[in-house]
Structure 1
Amino acid sequence: MTDEGDDWLDGDYALPAPNPLEQLTGPAFNEDESLRIIGLVSVTVTRLTDWPADKEFCNPYDGTAQLAVDRICLAGLRRFPQNHRQGNRRYPRSLTDLLAWCREHDVQEWDFLDLPTELSIEGTLLDPHTAAPSRLCQELALRYEHHEDPAGKSIRSITLDHVQRQYAEAGMPGGQRALLEKLVASPVLTSTAIASLRISRRLRIPDGVISACYVPVHERYFDRRGRANMCTSCGSLRINTTTGWRCEIEDCPDRDWVQGGESLAKKDGLYHATRPLREFLIAPIRIGRARRRSRMKPDSPRDLEP
């Protein structure tokens, strides 16, 4: 029988407050922390890719980027305590190291993490050809930002849910069909077309939703002459590499076709759908519709459903 004087064992004093070193190192090195780290890195990579060309990037870094580097260094220190004495580094120790690591190392080679074996997470976070975030990186970032488990609902459903929430917040629940059709039909718009879309009485798309789904085209999509190139298959803008234009969508059938495409001018003030929308919604629908047309089959009316 417990004495009344022993009640303190059930209180806060039973667990001593963490010391400064424990506060610094944070959660224990385990699968959950590894998933958190890979999510932080993916968000960091996607954000840095869209960093404004006219904005200086320097220390102190974005909070998410700094946290990602800190967590990796601590995870690496736990896993390889003697590594600082070796010439062959086994984990990145700076943001520049991390970005190179994302391009050169498959996630399966990140030995400083302990990712769940039941999850199939393979590939690099940066495309080795275009240096753009890979499909894997986009998916991991989206799941992390929306607090979705990697083994949870499909990435397509997460993307559609995000659009539905934007409409609900705008006071128009269930009205997203017109926007989705517009996104698939016109993934890239000029500033004039965006202005017309904002005042369209037929489509009635909330201004805030348009701003969240269509963003200005980044400088990296233009060549030296101020021209961009749109893939005629998936509708995404292609990236200008040393070997020619290359589609950023990994599943696009024209990904390696460096010629062709539709030329667009920077002076027209180009906007395009956000990368998650392009990767997980627009491109699959456009590619699927093109394949059905090639087999002389009508478009499916359900390809915009969750």
Structure 2
Amino acid sequence: MPSSRPSASLTDWSTHTGVTLLHTIATAVVGLSEITDLEAFALPYPAEAQRALDRTVLACLLRGAQPPASLPELLTWCRTRPIEDWPLELPQDAFGPDDFLIDPDSARPTQLCHEWWVRARDSAAEQYDRIVIHWAMRLCRESEDPESYTAFRRLLVERPVLTGNDMFEVATDLAFEPVREIIGQIYDHVPDNFCQDGVYVTCARCLTLLVPLTDGGWWCERDRCRRQGQPPLGRRLRADEVGSLSQLKRPLRQFVTGPGRAEADLERELRALRLPVEMWPGFDAYDLRITFPDGWVWAVDVKDWAHPGLLGRAATMVRPEPPYDEACWVVPQYRVDARRDYLEVYARNRTHVAGGLPLLTDRRLVAAARARLRGDRGPAARLVQTGDDTSTDGASDA
């Protein structure tokens, strides 16, 4: 049920000094991970990392706490201390239980860390993933080729890893003609630290490359996979056979491939109910357009975020075209299973520009679709509940 506590606002968060510092630390961690191993550093530190250390030390001293003595010690904090144990002045919804900035097993930035990093960037500047998506939209619109845009989106969801042969196949596929120049820029060469005993391995669930661990195991960067246990091994790619190996840049893997897997799962479930589902209609106005036999239309955007407060603060109304009767955002059920107050925290931090946008679990959405197909027109078959604009009752389906 929705909380009766006052809604948080952007102003409320901005009055907490720890929020800006957490943005700074996350930015430093992500930046360091892109240039070196997070477990090995030498002076001088990069400017952003030194800034994060200096500000953390100052914040600790102001609160009478023992500060980290060096950047390696600050990174140890990120890996071994949940954010709730940091001596920072943060709002209630800025962290959840056992939230880390660096994964304890792999020493890689967590998805949560990347979300704090994204929210730290200048709000006037487009996020990298959105720049790529908008670029593809523009090129496909100019070519009057919506099918190419859909093919491009499916490429990012279904093929985040490409061998040299895969890249040649994509480069010569006429379906990608309008966006060919983009594809060559959004895949990076895979570094050697993804290789173990001469083999690269993908995750059979999310299709991204697994990271080898020192104990011989493998780590998946997707929260969803880790919560389901050890990642199932997918494609085994021998370095001496595949030649060049490329993967999507991390922002695209996180904010397009990850949610895209959830979108594909939802599409499959809804089609199993014999419902027509259009993916990314109107050049990605939203993710799924679901049309019922009586002509009623739902518009759905899928968001797979670790942090419900940041998701609430990022919420905006679903674009009105193509037209629909009801709209919502959807989060995978495992997020609510992992954090029972997920929907409540989202609602508490949702901004006024979202216009009361409801957030449902994917399980709740499918249940509502089944109810509507049975002829139900009551609350169980609706996305927006009458007299309650929060619509966060999906937790009951956990």
Say whether the fold is shared (TM-score over 0.5): yes
Give the counterpart of 1:50 among 34, 42, 61.
34
* Cα drift, residue 284 of structure 1: 3.0
> Matches of 2:22 and 2:149 in 1, distance apart?
32
**1:105-116 superposed matches below 5 A:** 105-111=81-87, 113-116=88-91
Give the counterpart of 1:251 among 220, 224, 234.
224
User: Aligned pair in 2 of structure 1 residues 59, 136: CA closer, same or farther (>3 Å)?
Assistant: same
Contact (CA 8 Å) 1:198, 1:206: kept in 2 or not?
no
* Cα drift, residue 129 of structure 1: 1.7
Is 2:247 the partner of 1:275?
Answer: no
Is 2:205 the partner of 1:233?
Answer: yes
User: Aligned pair in 2 of structure 1 residues 179, 120: CA closer, same or farther (>3 Å)?
Assistant: same
The code of the aligned residue for 1:60 comes to P
Aligned pairs, number: 257
User: Aligned pair in 2 of structure 1 residues 244, 251: CA closer, same or farther (>3 Å)?
Assistant: same
Contact (CA 8 Å) 1:159, 1:280: kept in 2 or not?
no
Equivalent position of 1:302 in the other structure: 279
Aligned residues with identical type, % of pairs = 26
SS at match of 2:279: coil
> Matches of 2:247 and 2:207 in 1, distance apart?
10
Is 2:138 the partner of 1:161?
Answer: no
The code of the aligned residue for 2:82 comes to D
Contact (CA 8 Å) 2:270, 2:277: kept in 1 or not?
no
**TM-score for both structures, normalised by structure 2:** 0.55
Equivalent position of 2:50 in the other structure: 66
Is 2:164 the partner of 1:191?
Answer: yes
> Matches of 2:271 and 2:183 in 1, distance apart?
34
Equivalent position of 2:100 in the other structure: 124
SS at match of 2:247: strand
Equivalent position of 2:71 in the other structure: 95
**1:211-230 superposed matches below 5 A:** 211-223=184-196, 225-230=197-202
Question: 5+ residue gaps in structure 2?
Answer: 1-13, 288-300, 302-398
SS at match of 1:228: strand
Equivalent position of 2:152 in the other structure: 179
User: Aligned pair in 2 of structure 1 residues 73, 254: CA closer, same or farther (>3 Å)?
Assistant: closer
Greater C-alpha radius of gyration? 1
Contact (CA 8 Å) 1:50, 1:218: kept in 2 or not?
no
User: Aligned pair in 2 of structure 1 residues 96, 52: CA closer, same or farther (>3 Å)?
Assistant: closer
What's the CA shift string for 1:100-143, capped at 9, x where partnerless?
110101111111x2112243455001111222111111111112
Identify which range, 270-279 or 190-199, moves more after superposition: 190-199
> Matches of 1:65 and 1:182 in 2, distance apart?
35
Identify which range, 59-68 or 289-298, moves more after superposition: 289-298
SS at match of 1:147: coil
* Cα drift, residue 282 of structure 1: 1.2
> Matches of 1:212 and 1:145 in 2, distance apart?
22
